[in-house]
Amino acid sequence: MQPTEVLALEEIDLSDMEFWRRPYPEREGAFATLRRERPIAHFEDPLLEGSVIEMPRGNGYWALTRHRDLAEVSRTPQVFLSGPGAVSLLDLPPEMVEYFSGMISTDNPRHARLRRIVANAFNPRTVRAVEASIERLADEIIERARTSGTGDFITDLAAPFPLEIICTMMGVPESEYPTVLSCSNVILSNGDPAYIPEGADPILAVLEAGATLTALMEELGKYRVDQPVDDLTSALVNAEIESEKLTQQELASFFVLLLAAGNETTRTALAHSLVALSDHPDQRRRLLEDFAGLQATMADEMVRWASPVIWMRRTLATDYTLAGVELAAGDKVVLFYNSANRDEEVFDDPFVFDVGRTPNDHYGFGAPGPHFCLGAHLARREITVMWRELLARVPAIHATEPPVKLQSNFINGVVRLGYDF
């Protein structure tokens, strides 16, 4: 996929949803233009449409599109804060920030405390126990797809696989899987009509979905305090470091975050990688001939190629000069990971899909710094296992139509993707 530069610099508006509905080559072309001509560009805040809840527009934001600028910002968390809201271009009420992004929208010392507690529960023993279930779930899901599949790769494979792993990790009852899937789809939908019914208020729908997941997690968390078992929820609610424990709200926020970060990253990477392997039969052939030799690099290339999370936001605590641009305290900067992952200064042939790419300093799990994805190892393992099993059991699997994209400027998601064995 080569970029197509059809937009002049002045025509590029990253706040306009019509931009994100453009074909992928045109979007990539626009970011190539920005990296070359205006790597730190200012845009007005987007207009929020279709909701009765008013979100005031601020003073806009600075879009960062180069790999090196994202690295500098991510490694300077004392200046570039996450606390005011990492996942919204608009300033949200503090309670909404807490509700939906939790740890990802916190700064030290609170962020260090939360990450310390979560990392202690997310220890190698817990992850190893989950890894054993990855193999089993991959086998079960592939067999279901072969015997009673719908013909939609998202429904049959990409969505249920990471979701069931997360629910297994957390000890969520199987009866709640459909609810968890539905709520996570709504939260990450960006108002896409595929998940938000026509006429429904998108913000209210997201709030209701968040409330449903919060109630589920609070009930499970309370039960695991007295009845602990070998799952991540039990580890989290009973983890104590220097007399500190997670509150029920923090546990619920972490669950919503885990669904978004863990579920969506793997789901989106699997979807885009099916398209990539269908479009690049030479790369499929390489994997079929030497999967063992390429498994150390393939998952990272699939994540780079997909760039599942398009951006994260930071807010300046003080004035700062970044690459010669004067930024002021209170300014918002938006780190476009998708653009950094195609930066010509860092990647040889960035628009070539190469399952053996090395080095591969992509930002598919976030840039270096305190907010680097805690579950990166798990996501790599999920992607590797699923493709190992698919290529071994149904090596001819391929996409049968172009992907139906999620209408979002935040998640590079796929709503529907026809496939066949």
pLDDT in tens, 165-187: 988 888 889 999 999 999 989 98
- Residue 223 pLDDT level (bands cut at 50, 70, 90): confident
Q: Between vectors from CA 416 to CA 154 and to CA 215, what angle results, nearest 5°?
A: 60
pLDDT tens string 235-255: 777 776 566 777 777 777 777
Q: Tell me which of 122 and 136 has the higher pLDDT.
A: 136
Provide the residue type at 39 as one letter.
Answer: P
User: Would you say residue 365 lies in a domain?
Assistant: yes
Q: Which residue has the tokens 């789901």?
A: 267
Residue 350, preceding peptide bond in cis (omega within 30° of 0): no
Who contacts 392 (Cβ-Cβ below 8 Å, separation ≥6)?
Answer: none
User: Would you say residue 115 lies in a domain?
Assistant: yes
64 with 70: CB under 8 angstroms?
yes
Instruction: In whole angstroms, give the CA distance from residue 35 to residue 43.
Output: 15
pLDDT tens string 315-369: 999 999 999 999 999 999 999 999 999 999 999 999 999 999 999 999 999 999 9
User: Would you say residue 3 lies in a domain?
Assistant: no
Q: Kindly give the pairing relationship between strand 80-81 and strand 320-322.
A: unpaired
> What's the pLDDT score for residue 113?
83
Q: Which of 5-14, 113-122, 251-260 has the highest mean pLDDT?
A: 5-14
User: Would you say residue 4 lies in a domain?
Assistant: no
* DSSP count for the chain of H helices, then E strands: 17, 11
Instruction: In whole angstroms, give the CA distance from residue 21 to residue 25.
Output: 11
Instruction: In whole angstroms, give the CA distance from residue 278 to residue 285.
Output: 11
Q: Region 383-410: what's the mean pLDDT?
A: 96
Instruction: Give the 3-state secondary structure of residue 336.
Output: strand
Residue 346, CB half-sphere, CA atoms under 13 Å: how many? 19
User: Would you say residue 63 lies in a domain?
Assistant: yes
72's enclosing H/E stretch is: helix 67-74
CATH number at 334 reads 1.10.630.10
> What's the pLDDT score for residue 99?
63
User: Would you say residue 96 lies in a domain?
Assistant: yes
CA-atom Rg of the chain in angstroms? 21
> What's the pLDDT score for residue 80?
98
354 with 305: CB under 8 angstroms?
no
pLDDT higher than 90, residue 264: no
Three-state SS string over 5-20 comes to CCCCHHHCCCCCHHHH
Phi-psi region of 50 (alpha: psi -120 to 50; beta: other; left: phi over 0): left
Q: Tell me which of 138 and 166 has the higher pLDDT.
A: 138
The gap from C-alpha 264 to its chain's centroid, in whole angstroms, comes to 5
Listed residue (33, 34, 92) closest to 58, CA to CA: 92
- Residue 50 pLDDT level (bands cut at 50, 70, 90): low
What burial class does residue 65 get, using C-beta atoms within 10 Å of its C-beta: 0-12 exposed, 13-18 middle, 19+ buried? buried
The count of other CB atoms within 10 Å of the CB of residue 175 is: 7
User: Would you say residue 256 lies in a domain?
Assistant: yes
> What's the pLDDT score for residue 122?
64
User: Would you say residue 380 lies in a domain?
Assistant: yes
Q: Which domain holds residue 128?
A: 9-420
If one counts the domains in the chain, the total is 1
